[in-house]
Chain A
Amino acid sequence: LDQKWTSWCSVLQLPANFAQPEASSVKEKGTKKQVKLKESRQAVNNIRRLVEEDDDEDDVERVSWSGEPVGSISWSVKETAASSQRADREPAFPKISTDTPSISRSQSGYSLSSLFKGKPKVGNFQTFSDALTDSSVRLYAPELRKPKSEYKDYVSDWSPEETVQRLQQGKAVSLERFRTLQDKLLLLDHAIAAHDGNVITAVLIYLKRTLCKEVLFRELESRQTALRHFIHYLSETQNQRLLLELHRALGRAEDAALLQYKEHLSITDENKRRDFLKNCLSLPFSAEDLAHVQDHYTLLERQIIIEVTDRQAERGGKVEIFQKFPRKALILNMPLITTLYYCCFYHYAESEGTFSSPLNIRQTFKISEKQYFVTALAARAKLKAWLDVDALFASRNWLGFTRKKSPLSFQRVVDILQKNSAPTHVLQDYVALVDDGELRLTLAQKHKCHDIVISTYRDMKDRQLLLGYRGKVVRGSAEERKIDDLLSNPQIRWKN
């Protein structure tokens, strides 16, 4: 019956070891499902036939292969861009010289955009964007700057509410009239109430320019929304210095620390990055984050040393392992576990004293037993160093030398070995160690560990299954002989 069940499993595409639940109800459902599956398979097959037969003409929809309807925007971007290349060679389009005046002029005279035209109109006026950063204005339109007395005519005395509203509508408005701290804060509060990030930011830029840091920071502290917009603005414009100051002033030391730490991502030179991380260690991280950053620094420091040494070894051509398995990538900036794998691969036997020794790495970074085990196992299996693999289990058991022990389930051990294409004779040893009988059998069948299957059937005294299995082994092989011997053994009391 078991075999039947497993074969169902394969029909149903169940995981093979799903076969265990003893509850018979599951099995019953399995049968029903099998029938159902057949039906739906048939249905699917029918559909296929239906779809493929007389495929006369199915251009119902015009789509390019990639599925974009012909004429969609993203399709056309590609098409028209491609055709422009052709246009280079072919006679160009007749030059269109339109002298139509730009229509934008007809917009409200106060719109920002009308200001930024190449040729500013006569009768310019001060806009709030002008008020944002006066220095850059000069770059493109020095005429925009007019004596104060002149622009007064153009700027109405908008109230804070009106100012915010105009800002929201993208209309020009000067913030300069908000001179006292009280006025400025009132304006800010109205901007906050409008919840429009654009407006809040605009007001903040003005405040940043006209208030001293201490005052600004203090006022922002009681206005969380504005504060967050300000932080966002500073980080967008990469004003790291002010941002750090702000965090510190507000006692948000941990945020500041993380922010500074983030900087390391943009440093490409590994030595500079290492030094940067070292400096980070003095930042006010939370205790647990600090431990991680410390590890990060230590790791990179080590990677740099290992990289230098190994590059030399590789170039020298004297170290066999580097010749046999040339390195594919630099170890720099790789995660810790990847580094451990690398060291288990290239530096396995080293004494604990070296930087590249796996044992040293394990200790320094307090890698959990399981992680270490999985990584070492995978690395040695990849090298087909089966003795090392063996030793991994044995060394854990130095008093009693016969039994193999593992922090992993043996099922996972088998999985890892199999992924690294271990031969059957190796797999067999570990499949045999799987505790659960049924699981062991399933794995043995899957990985063709015939001996285990055969002796399990023998122990079950199941003659039928053994007979059935005879068909699965190679003719004339040792396994076949073994089965034949068992089948003809009169001392076994078969149950069937």
Chain B
Amino acid sequence: MMRLRRSHLICCAASKEKMAAHLSYGRVNLNILREAARKELREFLDKCAGSKAIVWDEYLTGPFGLIAQYSLLKEHEVEKMFTLKNGRLPPADVKNIIFFVRPRLELMDIIADNITSEDRHHSSRDFHILFVPRRSMLCEQRLKEQGVLASFINIDEYILDLIPYDGDLLSMEYESAFRECYLENDQTSLYHTAKGLMTLQALYGTIPQIYGKGECARLVANMMLRMKREFAGSQNQILPVFDTLLLLDRNVDLLTPLATQLTYEGLIDEIYGISNGYVKLPPEKFAQKKQGEGSKDLPTEPKKLQLNSAEELYAEIRDKNFNAVGAALSKKAKIISAAFEERHNAKTVGEIKQFVSQLPHMQAARSSLANHTSIAELIKDITSFLALKSLKTTISINIHYYVVNHLSSHVSASEAFFDNLTVEQEFMTGVDTDKVNTYIEDCIAQKDPLIKILRLVCMQSVCNNGLKHKVMDYYKREILQTYGYEHILTLNNLEKAGLLKPQTGSRNNYPTIRKTLKLWMEDANEQNPNDISYVYSGYSPLSIRLTQILARPGWRSIEEVLKMLPGPHFEERQQLPSGLHKKRQQGENRTTLVFFLGGVTYAEIAALRFLSQVEDSGMEYVIATTKLINGTTWIKSLMDRPESPTQ
């Protein structure tokens, strides 16, 4: 907690670019990485001398926003920016047109279209392409086929592997990584991961210890070790910042992302979707702002908010269970109103001056409080969490009674949420996972969104180590009949990824895993947590348990369970040049970088932050991932044609 406060104070102090200050005050100064990325961007821009216009692959504006502001581009003569679309480029009197794009074939076709419609009118403009994060043969070939490759003065790549997302969080923002690795078996994302880790080591020193679990983890570690051998000539002379790297495959823990996250940040993501650190919210609750403007036109555009630890209040509440957020907000409200009351006590000029000097900070705090109160209200309308707490009592009293009688009328969103959660918790505790679930059946009958159905069915399959043939066939038929036969393709994908599978001869080992790793805690304390299970109100994310156990007492204690989970587990050491061995101060914490290959959820991050803060853990965590995910975005990435009109 101390860390977060500090970050806030400095943030209020005059920092050159406000956005980035929060990166500097974590355990590891991630701003160094950001600076390196900015430097490279500047260098590229300077390569294209003269005035420029950038044509953006819209997807990239999000990740780039984490690296640079428009001001930086402007300093390097970027005068116009457009979104990439078909047809003629908008007029702009510039020397250079630069396309910032991902290496995707469909984007190449648009660029080709731009160029062919362009040539006739302006022949004096120079064209450049900047591929992010890598150039691709396929794309260049496509440009060639379209006959426009020769129009480019410059084709370059901007290696944006690991983007600093927050003070303790790095993301590659590589959305299709899981699909590519586990469905298409394309390991390009792993190569980028290894590259990114090499960059990281170049800046923060060689990481002496590498642990991993899963096929992809093994591959990444192999690539890193090989790359290190290839650079054998130049020894890295930086004192290592990270003590340990832990590589975890997402498919080691398929269960966690399927569960509904119950932390504040997790719920915001589940309900509204956080993308590149921003969330778009329904505007109504934010509407009654300024007086005088009148209420004539209520805004219809969604309200966009940035969410990161630069905001003191958000840093405090983001990782709390939602049930603890109300209390935290009201406590904060009292503090702030007391601070404003101070003005009446300010008598002397000095006191008034001091009060005034604090005013901007107080006003910022107040507006932040207003925003989060609104968000919390929005979420409460949907989750109705008070009901949730009673749910657990009910479960322990008589779950069957509840199930039979609670096929409720699905009138309000909060009831639907509540029912959904009940079923999730039944599955996670191993109740009736081998039968057709009536709730799922009902959801199909009332045509709930397909992704919701798939999440539940996959969860049942994972918790039962595969579904009985009869159960699986029944679900499949109901889904295809209700949502359309073309979803055969999606169902096949889920099977290939292991999320949905028929039961094989082997017995269901999920209960053993659950018991050994203590994945279900009966009385998770949501207000004052003493265990990571608070992030899912009872369920402790498997991935984080593995991390926790690795730190203490070590994986040797759970060899049996590790063997039940897919993929190998391993340990590697990287030699440090003598003299770089850290002399640890007594009581100094060790730092582990946990890399989630295939995505991580906000709730898992919250659990790791919780572990960092536990007094006697002796370990601090920095988190890296290919992409921040939740069950919905994850399943969606595995679907064929997700925007089917039938949903």
Contact = CB atoms under 8 A, between A and B. Distances in A.
Interface stretch (A12-20, A148-156, A350-358, A457-465): A12-20
Contacts of A92: 93
Given A133-B141, A371-B445, 10 more contacts: A43-B326, A50-B333, A84-B80, A137-B144, A236-B138, A292-B488, A295-B480, A333-B484, A371-B481, A415-B410
A192 B640 CA distance: 27
Interface of B: 19, 46-51, 56, 61-62, 64-65, 68-71, 73, 79-83, 90-95, 105, 126, 134-138, 140-141, 144-145, 147, 149-157, 184-188, 190-191, 194, 219, 223, 230, 278, 280, 288-291, 299, 301-306, 326-327, 329-330, 333-334, 336-337, 340, 360, 363-364, 366-367, 369-370, 373, 377, 384, 386-387, 389-390, 393-394, 397-398, 401-402, 405-412, 414-415, 418, 441-442, 445-447, 473, 476-478, 480-486, 488-489, 492, 640-641, 646
B153 A104 contact: yes
A206 to B, nearest CB: 10
Interface string A103-130: 1100000001100111000000000010
B482 A337 contact: yes
Contacts of B394: 21, 26
Contacts of A104: 47, 153-154, 156
A18 B50 contact: no
Contact of B141 (A61, A129, A165): A129
A340 to B, nearest CB: 9
Contact of B95 (A57, A88, A96): A96
A72 B71 CA distance: 8
Contact of B646 (A289, A334, A365, A443): A334
B70 A236 contact: no
Contact of B154 (A57, A113, A261): A113
A367 B474 CA distance: 11
Contacts of B411: 415
A102 B93 contact: no
A296 B489 CA distance: 13
Contacts of B69: 69, 71-73
A77 to B, nearest CB: 4
Contacts of A33: 386, 389-390
Given A25-B393, A65-B301, A233 B405 contact: no
18 contacts: A25-B393, A43-B326, A44-B330, A61-B367, A66-B302, A66-B303, A75-B70, A80-B79, A92-B93, A93-B93, A137-B144, A205-B141, A229-B186, A292-B476, A299-B485, A333-B484, A412-B409, A415-B409
A84 B369 contact: no
Given A292-B485, A335-B483, A195 B187 contact: yes
Contacts of B68: 73
B409 A418 contact: yes
A455 B369 CA distance: 51
A232 interface: yes
A312 interface: no
* Most A-side CB within 10 Å, residue of B61, B156, B409: B409
Interface string A50-90: 11100101101100011111011111110011011101100
Given A73-B65, A140-B144, A15 B387 contact: yes
A141 interface: yes
Interface of A: 12-15, 17-18, 20-21, 23, 25-26, 29-30, 33, 37, 39-40, 43-44, 46-48, 50-52, 55, 57-58, 60-61, 65-69, 71-77, 80-81, 83-85, 87-88, 92-93, 95-98, 100, 102-104, 112-113, 116-118, 129, 132-133, 136-137, 139-141, 165, 170, 194-198, 201-202, 205, 224-225, 228-229, 231-233, 236-237, 258, 261-262, 264-265, 288-289, 292-293, 295-296, 299, 333-338, 365, 367-368, 370-371, 374, 409, 411-412, 414-415, 418, 436, 439, 443
B492 A258 contact: yes
B486 A265 contact: yes
A26 B390 contact: yes
Contacts of A97: 95
Contact of A77 (B61, B105, B149, B187): B61
A198 B137 contact: yes
Pick the most buried of A76, A165, A224: most chain B CB atoms within 10 A of its CB. Answer: A76
A39 to B, nearest CB: 8
A195 B190 contact: yes
Contacts of B50: 96, 98, 100
A406 to B, nearest CB: 13
B369 A51 contact: yes
Contact of A43 (B95, B288, B333, B405): B333
Contacts of A338: 646
B386 A113 contact: no
B95 A132 contact: no
Contacts of A71: 69-71
Given A47-B333, A71-B69, A197-B188, A77 B56 contact: yes
Nearest to B135: A170
Contact of A67 (B79, B147, B191, B278): B278
Contacts of B410: 415
Given A21-B401, A258-B492, A336 B482 contact: yes
A25 B582 CA distance: 56
A37 B386 contact: yes
A81 B369 contact: no
Contacts of B278: 67-68
A103 B49 contact: yes
Closest 8 CB pairs of A and B: A67-B304, A43-B330, A197-B188, A296-B485, A76-B70, A98-B50, A415-B409, A113-B155
Given A20-B405, A47-B330, A104-B153, A98 B485 contact: no
Contact of A132 (B141, B191, B441): B141
B492 A47 contact: no
Contacts of B367: 51, 58, 60-61
A74 B187 contact: no
Given A84-B91, A202-B137, A112 B188 contact: no
A170 B157 contact: yes
Contacts of A197: 186-188, 191
Given A44-B326, A73-B61, A293-B488, A198 B136 contact: yes
Given A81-B80, A411-B408, A74 B326 contact: no
B304 A68 contact: yes
